[in-house]
């Protein structure tokens, strides 16, 4: 094959951010905004969207080409419907869709192989990562990360001394609104802040454990299609993350402003700014409120479709 097409979804984290670092359960859900890739052999020099590829600007794509081992020049076209740096897994979707195309040029790819390689690329480019974004983008629907293997197991991913078991998680139809605060907070310092709190405080360790238990209850509510319980647990998760010190006044403002129009809302991702998510049956109203409060809203639906290959 000399040409292939693919697309992969973004994601939002429903439960368990930060606690997942300590082996607790975390859940992410794929969303209906995607990145589309179109890769073809038969050109003189590797180009992306008409321009010669630049390792500084396209580290994920360059790393993917090297790992797959394609030597011929490639014509790459990408189209993204995901905002970059907004906590919706755009780098994971880019990496997964690129690998889907590249492996398709060489044969029939395994989704497990794509998920593993995509995680390695994210880990390398970012200097650290969990497999939650890349596995959700590959598999679609929702994925549950745990320390131990359970039912609906998809794959196990290892890195140094860390082990993650990735599981399929059923989801009901869900409408979500992301509110982007526009405040960029690097993940690393926030993770280190939680680590210092965790190491010196039994209270912090209890909070982490409670977030993990809450994520498990969230999985049960998702399976039952009980949106009210899912929303209530999201509210609880937001409160616990704020106690851990990764909240932000702007996140609280947006969460509180939409609370009467949604099942539940919480910060999603590393915190300290970034995004909040709301589970709601009134997405337009919630988006309107976020906009009035100077946030950038994105109306999304949970998606059962992961990586697609043509």
| Cβ count near 145 (within 10 Å) | 24
Angle between helices 227-244 and 202-224 (to 10 degrees): 160
Integer CA distances (angstroms), 100 to 114, 133, 175, in order: 7, 15, 27
Residue 150 in tokens: 């359970």
Catalytic one of 32, 63, 133, 236: 133
Distance CA 116, CA 136 (A): 12
Separation of CA 97 from chain center = 14
**Residue 54 appears among annotated catalytic residues:** no
CA angle 219, 224, 229 (to 5 degrees): 70
CA 218 – CA 197 distance, rounded (Å): 25
Determine whether 135 is exposed, middle or buried from the number of CB atoms within 10 Å of its CB (0-12, 13-18, 19+): buried
Phi, psi for residue 15 in degrees, rounded to 5: -145, 145
8-state DSSP, 306: -
270: tokens are 């590393």
Q: Provide the annotated active-site residues.
A: 133
């Amino acid at each position: 094959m000399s040409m292939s097409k693919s697309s992969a979804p973004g994601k939002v984290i429903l439960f368990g951010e930060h606690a997942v670092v300590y082996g607790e359960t975390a859940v992410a859900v794929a969303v209906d905004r995607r990145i589309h890739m179109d890769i073809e052999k038969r050109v003189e020099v590797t180009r992306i969207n008409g321009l010669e590829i630049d390792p500084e600007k396209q580290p994920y794509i360059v790393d993917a080409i090297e790992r797959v081992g394609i030597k011929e020049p490639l014509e790459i076209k990408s189209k993204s419907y995901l905002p970059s740096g907004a906590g919706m897994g755009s780098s994971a979707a880019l990496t997964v869709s690129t690998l889907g195309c590249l492996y398709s040029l060489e044969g029939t790819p395994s989704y497990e192989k794509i998920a593993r390689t995509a995680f390695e690329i994210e880990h390398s480019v970012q200097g650290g990562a969990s497999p939650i974004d890349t596995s959700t983008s590959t598999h679609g629907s929702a994925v549950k990360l745990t320390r131990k293997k359970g039912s609906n197991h998809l794959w196990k991913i290892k890195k140094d001394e860390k082990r993650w078991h990735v599981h399929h998680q059923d989801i009901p139809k869900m409408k979500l609104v992301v509110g982007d605060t526009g405040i960029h907070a690097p993940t690393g310092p926030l993770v280190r802040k939680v680590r210092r709190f965790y190491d010196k405080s039994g209270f912090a360790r209890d909070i982490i454990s409670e977030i993990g238990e809450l994520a498990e209850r969230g999985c049960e509510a998702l399976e039952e299609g009980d949106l009210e319980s899912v929303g209530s647990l999201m509210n609880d998760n937001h409160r616990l993350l704020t106690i851990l010190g990764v909240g932000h006044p702007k996140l609280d403002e947006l969460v509180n402003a939409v609370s009467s129009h949604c099942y539940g809302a919480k910060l999603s991702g590393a915190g300290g700014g970034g995004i909040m998510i709301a589970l709601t049956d009134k997405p337009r109203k919630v988006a309107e409120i976020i906009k009035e409060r100077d946030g950038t809203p994105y109306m999304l639906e949970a998606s059962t479709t992961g990586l697609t290959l043509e």
